[in-house]
Amino acid sequence: MGPRDSGVYWCESTEGSTSNTITITVSGGSVILQSPALPVMEGDNVTLTCRTKMADPPSAHFYEDGVSIRTESDGHMTLLHVNRSDEGLYKCTIQNEGGSPESRLSVSEKPPTTARPPTSSSSSTTMDPPTTSPPPPAFSHLVFTLICHLVVLYCISTFLMVSLYRQRATGSDPSVSMAMSPPTRAEQGLDDDYDDVMSPVTTEHQF
């Protein structure tokens, strides 16, 4: 790979979709800038490293779009929580070594976060039967009192029905027993006369 391989690269699917573009710079000089080849996400931290072919430089100066940013003694510059305004062409220089080719830093917008809906599995979750709470103490006491009153009312009704039935059964029998009184003298005389009339008359014939 040589300087002529520098350029913008991307790939394309058979359906026609294209990927993000990346810029690859191949330097023929002694100073290079290491930066992310792919776009970074908003809010990420990005570290740019200025290097020589021999070793890490003791000090390097960094530029963005040709404007000087700052100097780092160890050759590493970190951008905290990057956003779209941090996009641009970056390069670095090292004293007595020269400068690196420019490298593009791309920042992608962070996708909005959406709350995931609760997942329900009908195969693993069974519907529990609804639980019924016991009735309150006041309601239980009211039911018990009502039952007691019904039992007492039933006993009284039964007693009254039995008493009424006994009274009706007693009223249908003769209350006074009839006793046979002895016949009077007149009645007895009539009976004797009746017997004399009805007795056969016998006639004796003497020859």
pTM over 0.85: no
The CA-based angle 10-15-16, given to 5 degrees, is 45
Element (H, E) at 7: strand 7-9
Q: Where are the alpha helices (DSSP H) in 130-184?
A: 137-171
Number of Cβ within 10 Å of residue 94's Cβ equals 19
- Using CB atoms within 10 Å of the CB of residue 107, give its burial: 0 to 12 exposed, 13 to 18 middle, 19+ buried: buried
Whether the Cβ atoms of residue 22 and residue 48 lie closer than 8 Å to each other = no
The pair of structure tokens assigned to 141 is: 């006491």
Whether the Cβ atoms of residue 50 and residue 69 lie closer than 8 Å to each other = no
Please report, to the nearest 10 degrees, the dihedral formed by the alpha carbons of residues 160, 161, 166, 168 taken in order.
Answer: 110
Domain 18-108, CATH number (from 3.40.50.1100, 2.60.40.10, 3.90.76.10, 3.40.50.1580): 2.60.40.10
**pLDDT (tens digit, 0 to 9) for every residue of the chain, 207 residues total?**
555 566 678 788 877 777 767 666 665 568 899 988 889 999 999 999 998 876 666 799 999 999 999 999 999 999 999 999 999 999 999 988 889 999 999 999 887 776 666 665 544 455 665 666 655 667 777 888 889 889 888 889 898 888 888 888 776 554 444 445 555 555 555 555 555 545 554 444 454
Domain ranges of the chain: 18-108, 137-169
